Amino acid sequence: MRNLERVVKSRCVSLEVKNRGSGSRHLGIGKNSPVQKSGIRKSKTSRWRALALILLNLFMIAHIIQWRIMGKTVSPIEPSETMYTLQQGAINAGFIFFSLAILATLIFGRFVCGWGCHILALQDFCGWMLKKIGLTPKPFRSRLLVYVPLIGALYMFVWPTVYRFFTKPETERLIPKFTNHLVTTSFWETFPSVAVAIPFLFICGFMTVYFLGQKGFCTYACPYGGFFGLADKFSPGKIRVTDACNQCGHCTATCTSNVVVHAEVKQYGMVVDPGCMKCMDCVSVCPNDALYFGFGKPTLLVPKSNAIKRNYSVTWSEEIVGAVVFLGSFLAVRGVYALVPFLMALGCATITTFLTLKTWRLFKANELSFYRFNLKSSGRIRKVGWAFVAFSVAWVGLNVHSGWIRYHEYLGDRAFQKIQIPDELALAQKDPAPWLSPIERENILEGKKHFQTASTFGLFANREALSKLAWFEYLSGDAEQSVALLGQAAARQKGQGKALSLYYRGTILNRLGRYEQAQLSLDEALAQRSDLILARQEKGESLWQLGRREEAISVWSDAVQRNPHLVLANNQLAGAERTLARFQEASVHENKADQSTPDNPHFHWMIGLRLQNLGMTELAEKHFQRAIQLDPQFQLRRGNSPQ
């Protein structure tokens, strides 16, 4: 009888409550949950969400293993891959996933963030570990930094298209023609190395939680969250409330998205904060089962109210200082040593901002704590406070040092971009000095100075700066140093970058007459990128100089088969066939070369120099004379070309 009475009482709710709250009652999310010491029920959905995130990470590991075993796999299911779709027209799995995720967010809200993000999984894991040792992450609340994710998203996905719109030639499409890149053999090519990925995950998945609170990276750094948060404002799917709510605050205390749930549902009848990631913990712990997920008005159609007063962690003056510090830190670390990726730089900048503002307040305030540690008491900084200062100084100092290195890398790169001499012309002979203008000589000296400073005082070697410094050394006349630097760069590079460094190294070795070493370097380049036709041309030259003429002809023929319009390779084949008295074949290749040769004196001179290096003097002379016809000033250069 008593059981029947309890059932009847549980059904005795108002019609409005029954209609609005039926969603959660059917799900039964919060019923029979055990109660913690705090008096708040344990969330049942947290276990299901943890399972979903664990399965997600296992799937990612399986994806990598499958690629390693089979050599090819589905392209990375990573939102950042969308950049290659917009900029190159490459349809990949990341673009499809990101598009579907945004569409799902427009309908259901930010479920993808809460249930399907590996970075969030790390943040939740960190938060769980901190609570196990008695440390509850406290949210850092900022008025300005919350806009960083959206700005980051616009920079990643919108700005490149806008820039292309204003700078592209009229004949080019705004978005290149779409091509299928759903399957790839270079799965890791767009990701940082493991040596970078580990600190990246530690900073973005753990340190941001420790300093900024749970989901600190999501709140202040994640560019994908910038779009998801915007889409959430249009979503009809929200956490909503019935009249059974008694404002106990259990929902807010449980929320790991740092949303003031009880205040928002009281004011709006639903959660309107775009930071809500639909973890469903608030629904599960509600003692009255008053919260539920349901559909109704989106945030944009709900009148704004000033009734909810937010307690921010910093004053407006500190906000402005923090914004400046954030920007400075981001610019300092992004791309430094060609190692720090965009997202990692955002994570580093948020931590730098927090530490700077916290340290500043430590010296101004009479009392200050961090977690359960009293950093300052009665105007006196305690030992733990000085330890905090030491860590802050070390972290900020590392940022400043990175900024100084990045400054020199930037100036060195700017000098590199000002070099106008074509690579083909510079590499046509051992000493490119005759082709350099006074301005280029100044830029070479300037670039060398900055790159050498960055290399000398940097904590790590910059593989991209090494290859550029190598080019400066070659143009300066130090080919041996250039070869050494290109070898160092190639050892640190992968994919196309490695292939190009090995190609340039092999080419310079050819000019130095070290043909066997050149061939080995060029073979390594082709192992990285078999489609690097320039390396095939150079390899043919190495073989020809080593007396392996039929092999050289075979390599040049392969290059021409891949691209019939190669002027140099066709000329090399013409000269080779003529040397072997196969005049008919020589004539065919010479005609093909002439059809594709531009009437440019520098180009003809470059072809002449390359053929002269191979001993094909008759054909070389033809191009020298054509260059002189086009520009009589080239007659003065005859004395500078090797005989």
Backbone angles phi, psi at 510, to 5 degrees: -60, -45
Q: Give the per-residue pLDDT at 561.
A: 92
Q: Is 447 among the domain residues?
A: no
- Does pLDDT of 404 surpass 80? yes
Q: Is 424 among the domain residues?
A: no
Q: Does 292 lie in the same domain as 320?
A: no
Q: Does 133 lie in the same domain as 83?
A: yes
User: Percentage of the chain with pLDDT > 90?
Assistant: 81
CATH number, domain containing residue 624: 1.25.40
Q: Give the per-residue pLDDT at 15.
A: 34
Side chain identity at residue 346, one-letter code: L
Q: Is 310 among the domain residues?
A: no
Q: Give the per-residue pLDDT at 19.
A: 40
**By C-alpha distance, which of 384, 388, 330, 335 is closest to 360?**
388
Q: Give the per-residue pLDDT at 633.
A: 87
Q: Is 442 among the domain residues?
A: no
Q: Is 524 among the domain residues?
A: no
- 5: Cβ–Cβ under 8 A, 6 or more apart, which residues? none
- 615: Cβ–Cβ under 8 A, 6 or more apart, which residues? 579
Q: What is the mean pLDDT of residues 130-158?
A: 95
Q: Is 380 among the domain residues?
A: yes
- Does pLDDT of 429 surpass 90? no
Instruction: In whole angstroms, give the CA distance from residue 405 to residue 237.
Output: 48
pLDDT tens per residue, range 76-96: 999 999 999 998 899 999 999
Q: What is the mean pLDDT of residues 172-178?
A: 85
pLDDT tens per residue, range 586-603: 999 999 999 999 989 999
Q: Give the per-residue pLDDT at 495.
A: 84
pLDDT band at 9 (very low <50, low <70, confident <90, very high): very low
Average pLDDT over the chain, rounded to whole? Answer: 90
**Residue with structure tokens 């180009």?**
603
pLDDT tens per residue, range 24-62: 333 444 445 565 656 788 899 999 999 999 999 999 999
- 243: Cβ–Cβ under 8 A, 6 or more apart, which residues? 14, 16, 17, 20, 290
Long-range CB pairs of 368-373 (<8 Å, 24+ gap) are: 371/135, 371/136, 371/138, 372/134, 372/135
Q: Does 283 lie in the same domain as 147?
A: yes
Instruction: In whole angstroms, give the CA distance from residue 607 to residue 422.
Output: 13
Q: Does 378 lie in the same domain as 401?
A: yes
pLDDT tens per residue, range 311-336: 899 999 999 999 999 999 999 999 99
pLDDT band at 153 (very low <50, low <70, confident <90, very high): very high
**Residue with structure tokens 């949303």?**
259
End-to-end CA distance of the chain: 113
Q: Does 211 lie in the same domain as 353?
A: no
Q: Does 244 lie in the same domain as 336?
A: no
Q: Give the per-residue pLDDT at 295.
A: 96
Q: Does 178 lie in the same domain as 105?
A: yes
pLDDT tens per residue, range 350-390: 999 999 999 999 999 999 999 999 999 999 999 999 999 99
Q: What is the mean pLDDT of residues 253-261?
A: 92
Q: Does 285 lie in the same domain as 163?
A: yes
Looking at 271, 301, 331, which one is the last position of a domain? 301
DSSP-assigned letter for residue 337? G
Q: Give the per-residue pLDDT at 611.
A: 94
Q: Give the per-residue pLDDT at 310.
A: 83
Count of CB atoms situated within 10 Å of the CB of 371:
12
Instruction: In whole angstroms, give the CA distance from residue 610 to residue 569.
Output: 10
Count of CB atoms situated within 10 Å of the CB of 19:
11
Q: Is 559 among the domain residues?
A: no
Q: Give the per-residue pLDDT at 634.
A: 87
Q: Does 215 lie in the same domain as 351?
A: no
Q: Give the per-residue pLDDT at 500.
A: 95
Q: Does 26 lie in the same domain as 113?
A: yes
Looking at 405, 424, 452, which one is the last position of a domain? 405
Strand partners, 270: 240
pLDDT tens per residue, range 506-520: 999 999 999 999 999
Q: Give the per-residue pLDDT at 23.
A: 40
Can you list the alpha helix ranges (DSSP code H) found in 418-437?
423-426
Number of domains observed in the structure of the chain: 3
Q: Does 325 lie in the same domain as 292?
A: no
The residue range of the domain holding 390 is 316-405
- Does pLDDT of 637 surpass 50? yes
pLDDT tens per residue, range 624-633: 999 999 999 8
Helix axes 342-364, 223-232, angle to 10 degrees: 90
Task: Please tell me the pTM assigned to this model.
Answer: 0.86
Looking at 354, 387, 405, which one is the last position of a domain? 405
- Does pLDDT of 494 surpass 90? no
Instruction: In whole angstroms, give the CA distance from residue 87 to residue 2.
Output: 69
Q: Is 514 among the domain residues?
A: no
Distances (CA, A) of 518 to 484, 487, 506, 508, 582: 13, 12, 4, 8, 28
Q: Does 323 lie in the same domain as 291?
A: no
